[in-house]
Structure 1
Amino acid sequence: MKKKLIACMVCLLLAGTPARPAESAALPILEIVKTVAKKVIKAIDLRIQKLQNKTIWLQNAQKQAENVLSKLKLDEISDWTRKQKELYKGYYDELAEVKSIITYYQRIKEITKKQAGLVQEYERAWNLFRQDTHFTAGEIQYMKHVYSGILGESLRNIDQIFLILDSFALKMSDLKRLEMINTAADQIDDAYDSLRLFNRQNVLLSLQRGRTEAEVNQIREFYGIP
C-alpha cells in the first residue's frame, strides 16, 4: 500500500516544470532523529557492557561450582548436589537470563543502527535532489514534505524502542518483549524501504527529464549510477 502511495507522489512530481530549485534547509526533525538514535545506541552499549561484566562473574561462579563437583567422589556427588543445588541454581538461572537480555539488546542495537542508516540515506539523497536542476522549487518542497513524514514515522519507531528498553525493568514475558522488538524491526524496515523507493523514483524522474544522451549520462554520474 505504501509503495502505491509513494508511486502516486512521484506521479504528482511529473506534473511539474523543470526549473532551478530554491535552496531548502535540512529538515528540523533530522537532528532530533540523529540525536535520539545516538543516545539509544550509547545507552544500549552501556547496558551490554554491564551485563557482559555480570556474565563474566556468573561464569566464574559457575566454573567454581563445577570444579568443586569434579573433585568429589562418586558417593559424595549425590549429597553435594542435594545441598548445593539451590545455592548454585540462582547462578545458572541468572546467567541464562543475562545472556538472553544481551541477545535482545544486540537486536535492538541493530534496529537502531538501521535507523541511523535511514538518516544517512535521507541526507545523501536530499543533498543531491536539492542541487538537481531538473526539479522545480515546488517539487523540492514536496519532497521535503514526504521526507518529513518518513522521518516522523522513524522518530515514533524510536519511541517504541524506548518502551522496549523500559520493559526490562518491568515484569514482562519474553514473548511480549520479542513481539515488541519484531514490531519495531518491521516498522523501521518499512520506513527504510519507503525512503529508498521514493529516492529511486525521484532519480528516475530526473533521468526522464534529461533532454540529450549527454545530459542523461551527467545525471547518472551525478547520482553515482553505473
Structure 2
Amino acid sequence: MVMAIMSAYTTRSMAQADELQQLALNIEKLTQFKAILSDMKKGYAIYQQGYGLVSNISKGNFDLHHVYLTGLMAVSPAVRNNPRVAQIIEQQSGLMNEYKRYAMCFRQSGSFAAGELAYFERVYGQLIHQSNINADQLADVATAGKLRMSDDDRLTAIERIYSQSSDQLQFLRWFNRKAILLSLGRSKDLQDTRMLKSLYGLK
C-alpha cells in the first residue's frame, strides 16, 4: 500500500515536473515570439518610413516633371509677341492675294494656252499647299497646349517658318514677273502691250 502511494506520488511529481518544464518552454517560446513581433514591428515601421520617403521623393519628382511639361505646353509672351509671327501672317496673306490676282490676270490676258494656264495653277497649288503647312505649324507653335516645346525651340521654329514663308513669297513674285514678261513679249502691237500693262498694273 505504501509502495502504491509512493509510486503514485512519484508519478504525480514527475508529471508536475514535466508540466513545469513544458510551462518554462512555453514561456521561453512566448518571450521569443514577443521579440520576433517587436522586430517585425520595428521592421514595418522602418519600411513605412522608407516607403513614405520614396513615395514623397517620387511624388516630388513627378510634380517637378509635371510643372516642367506643363511649362512646355504654355506659350510665353516672348513667343506670342514675336514680330515674326505677324510677319509670317502678312506673308501668307500676301501670297494668297498675289496668287489670286495674277492667276486671274493671266487667264484674262489671252497670252497663254490652256496647258500653260494649267501649269500655272499647279505651281500656285503647290505654293498654297506649302503655305498652308506653314500656317498650321505656326498655329501649333504659337498656341498653348498644342506642342511640348521650350521657348527657344518655339522661337527657332518660328524663324524657320518665317524663312520658308519668305522664300515662297519671293518665288511667287519671281514666277509672276517671268510670266508677265512672257505675256508682254507675246503682245502683238503697242495697243496690246498697253492693255496688258494696264491689266498687270504696270506703267
Answer yes or no: same fold by TM over 0.5. yes
Name the counterpart of 1:200.
177
Q: Give the 5 Å matches for 1:1-226.
A: 99-104=77-82, 106-166=83-143, 172-226=149-203
The one-letter code sitting in structure 1 at the alignment partner of 2:106 is F
The one-letter code sitting in structure 2 at the alignment partner of 1:117 is G
Larger CA deviation: 200-209 vs 215-224: 215-224
Contact kept, 8 Å, 2:84 with 2:159, in 1: the verdict is no
Inter-partner Cα distance in structure 2 for 1:171 and 1:140: 43
The one-letter code sitting in structure 2 at the alignment partner of 1:100 is A
Inter-partner Cα distance in structure 2 for 1:167 and 1:215: 54
TM-fit CA distance, 1:108: 1.5
Alignment size in residue pairs: 129
TM-fit CA distance, 1:171: 5.3
Inter-partner Cα distance in structure 1 for 2:176 and 2:129: 17
Taking a change above 3 Å as real, the CA distance of residues 225 and 145 of structure 1, as seen in their structure-2 partners, is same
Inter-partner Cα distance in structure 2 for 1:133 and 1:139: 11
Contact kept, 8 Å, 1:167 with 1:177, in 2: the verdict is no
Secondary structure of residue in 2 paired with 1:218: helix
The one-letter code sitting in structure 1 at the alignment partner of 2:168 is A
Secondary structure of residue in 1 paired with 2:81: helix
CA radius of gyration, larger in: 2
Q: Which runs of 5+ in 2 are unaligned?
A: 1-74
Secondary structure of residue in 1 paired with 2:201: coil
Inter-partner Cα distance in structure 1 for 2:79 and 2:152: 13
TM-fit CA distance, 1:181: 0.4
Deviations 1:28-56 (A, max 9, x none): xxxxxxxxxxxxxxxxxxxxxxxxxxxxx
Q: Which runs of 5+ in 1 are unaligned?
A: 1-96
Percent identity over the alignment is: 33
Contact kept, 8 Å, 2:79 with 2:142, in 1: the verdict is no
Inter-partner Cα distance in structure 2 for 1:222 and 1:139: 18
Taking a change above 3 Å as real, the CA distance of residues 166 and 103 of structure 1, as seen in their structure-2 partners, is closer
Inter-partner Cα distance in structure 1 for 2:79 and 2:90: 18
The one-letter code sitting in structure 1 at the alignment partner of 2:195 is Q
Question: Root-mean-square deviation (CA), in Å?
Answer: 2.1
Scaled by the length of structure 2, the TM-score of the pair is 0.58
Higher relative contact order (CA 8 A, sep 6+): 1
The one-letter code sitting in structure 2 at the alignment partner of 1:135 is F
Taking a change above 3 Å as real, the CA distance of residues 207 and 99 of structure 1, as seen in their structure-2 partners, is same
TM-fit CA distance, 1:170: 5.5
Secondary structure of residue in 1 paired with 2:175: helix
Inter-partner Cα distance in structure 1 for 2:151 and 2:81: 12
Contact kept, 8 Å, 2:88 with 2:165, in 1: the verdict is yes
Inter-partner Cα distance in structure 1 for 2:189 and 2:154: 55
